[in-house]
Structure 1
Amino acid sequence: MKELENKCLRFVLHYYQKDKLDTPKALKAFKEKNRISVHKHSSFRTFLFTSGAAAIILLAVALHTVLRPDSERTVITAHAQRVNYLLPDSSLLTLHPYSSVSFCKQTYQNERREIQMKGKVAFTVRHDETRPFRVLGRLTQTVVLGTQFTVDESRQDTASVQVTTGKVRLTSLQGTESVILTKGMTAQIVKGETKPRVISQKQEIRKGSFQFENTPLSQVLEQLSRYYQVRLTTQTSDRQLTARFEERSLDEIIEIIEKVLKVKIRKEKP
């Protein structure tokens, strides 16, 4: 009898489909397959067999419901290397090593753009005024419309947000006060504090005007180094430069000199 019950269980689990299983039909198929005949005088045994099979079927349904994976939740994890992931709205995530993000795909597409994260993740968010982009970490809540920024929660007691382009509103999960961060700004949230602290402001790019007349390249680089507070060097110093620069950044000037004189200039900290 026990062997028969085991065969019944294997049969039910093999052919079970949600909302499609007809219990009497399944029992009939099982009996025909195993050549089981039912006589009138064994109605009580038939009742026990039917009840047991039905119980097995109900158990299979319960197990399927409890153990069924949540197919709507998407989890992305980076291990030893960075991982790039494109969200359904074409926003781009860059996960640093040992970081992870998760989101509900159906909710993200139809209701709100919300991401949960751990570790350090860079975001390039597609602009959508009707659906702000929300990032939830251990300590931070970051809301944007469309921008490029990085959330770093790789440390246990502090978190930081750095904005590359655009604008974000940063709030501590332990408070209600927020700060607005724009391009070039960085803010930090310390565990236990209710308000973010801005630790790096946007730095304006310094521009200058210069005029050179057959000036040796070594002197040109020396003058530029003093003005922009860097150290410029080159292995080709036997060239002369005649040029005029009006309100140019250092990178723009270096690019022009390299193209005109066909040299390579190296920029270092002083």
Structure 2
Amino acid sequence: MGQDKWETWASVLHGEATEPEGAHMDAESEKDLKAAHRIFNAREKVGLVMKLKSPDDAWTEIKGNLYSSHTRWIEFSKYAAIFLLSLLITGSAFWSINSRQKLDDQFASISAPNGQITNVTLFDGTNVWLNAGSTLTYKQSFNNDNREVILEGEALFNVTKNEKIPFIVHAGDAQVKVFGTQFNVKAYRNDMKIETVLIEGEVQFSSNQQSVMMNPGELVLFEKSSGNLVRNRVNTEEYTSWKGGKIYFNNETLHSLAQQLERWYEVKISFQDERIKSFRFSGVINKERSLEYTLNIIEEINKIKFEFNQDYVLVKEK
């Protein structure tokens, strides 16, 4: 607002303005009221609690006294009027900027509860499948100046290409950086490893001050206990088939198998003897089959048996 406009407002408040000036400022006040509405509504959307009146009440209170020829403004000088209006607009601008900063610092998350698989498309067009028991977290400012997410669990990413802004997945002690590609990341908190399988494109896998560029068809595995990186050629279908309800196990421990069954079937599995956890299993688990059917198949292959008690399963050696 220019200095002339401030001076005219002061004249109106003093009752010294001409009729044309008063009519002009009445029209201007309507414009300012609309602006105040926009700022007030923006603050409401981000959940800020204002200690001011609503824009309607504030402006009605001011305008109600503008053109009354019988009202005398003895208590208010010209500069008091200027201060009142500048405080309203400057304060609104401050709260609007502060609201944007608070919004940028907030996080949102998407989860796939145990027993479910979730599919979501992020703001930049990136498509993500979340396996059971997984959570994806990102800033509210995602897609403004960064494309960074935090993964706990397992997810299959199909990243929208953007050469200027890389897509970064933070997964425990590992980080995967891409510009546009398809890959799978598995990083459950209780797992002893973090693994990434590249389906197409190119990604940079980093962990423990080590970094490797991956090619399609490769698996990079970070061992949490030793801090080593292991790199192998694999059949990517075996690492992404969980999206369709199947999981391949290739000489996996029963402990690792049990963790996956817990996430898929919402059941708690315990071992009578810690030694049983190291038994190995190879095969395919189909989520369309019942838990009882799946465990019966595992019993036939291994020298173990399962005891059921509602949502609890105990693993014993035969």
TM range (shorter): 0.3 to 0.5
Larger of the two Rg values belongs to structure: 1
**TM-score, normalised by the number of residues in structure 1:** 0.48
Task: Write 1 or 2 for the structure with the bigger share of strand.
Answer: 1
Task: Provide TM-score, normalisation by structure 2.
Answer: 0.42
